[in-house]
Amino acid sequence: MEKTKTLVIGIAGGSASGKTTICDKLSEQLQDHRVKVFHMDDYFKPEELRPRSRALVGEREYVDDNHPDTMYLTQLYEDMVKEKESGKVQIILTEGLLTLYDDAILSLLDLKLYVDCRADERILRRLKRNMQRGLSEDEITDVYLDVVRYRHDQYVEPSKWRADMILNGANPSVVSMEMITDYIKRSL
């Protein structure tokens, strides 16, 4: 089988900004092509190996799921390289908080997208999502206020300048999605 040109698209943004939603929409719109999706969340280390963070105010300590050391980023990079070199897929979509932060992953990306969404909307989405997973409102807001928002400012938000395009996570436009899919199809 002849190797296929593979286009690698990275999707970053804050927690609950709409990264997975955008990734799913792109995957659906590109279903006529061979697409492989990598979710950074699939690369979390076991909880006992993740870094801990202490709240800036108070004594609470949390598992820090928004720190680069909480994930096997090198493994994600290696898996992406292996998939690209296999020549079996036309499009690789990689989404996660740190997709544009990590230099190795960034080096593989042909198109870099950042999903921007206001903090108040992201916290409300986190509340809905995580309450459905059985967490209490207090648990969700405490970790957000004590850790997540600081990690966002430290790692995620500064990676925005690396993006080729910034998307509206509150209401992704049909036009922007069409532009992205058209660009991808033309680039293959």
pLDDT digits (tens, 9 = 90+) for 8-27: 999 999 999 999 999 999 99
Domain assignment present for 45: yes
Domain assignment present for 81: yes
d(CA 118, CA 133): 23
What's the structural domain count of the chain? 1
Burial of 102 (0-12, 13-18, 19+ CB in 10 A): buried
| pLDDT score of 59 more than 90 | no
Domain assignment present for 2: no
Neighbours of 31 (CB within 10 A): 9
CATH of the domain at 55: 3.40.50.300
The reported pTM is 0.93
Boundaries of domain holding 32: 7-187
- Please write the tens of the pLDDT for every residue from 137-175: 999 999 999 999 999 999 999 999 999 999 999 988 899
pLDDT of residue 12: 98
Residue identified by tokens 């909880």 is 47
How far is CA 39 from its chain centroid? 7
| pLDDT score of 119 more than 90 | yes
Confidence of residue 89 (pLDDT cuts 50, 70, 90): very high
Confidence of residue 3 (pLDDT cuts 50, 70, 90): low
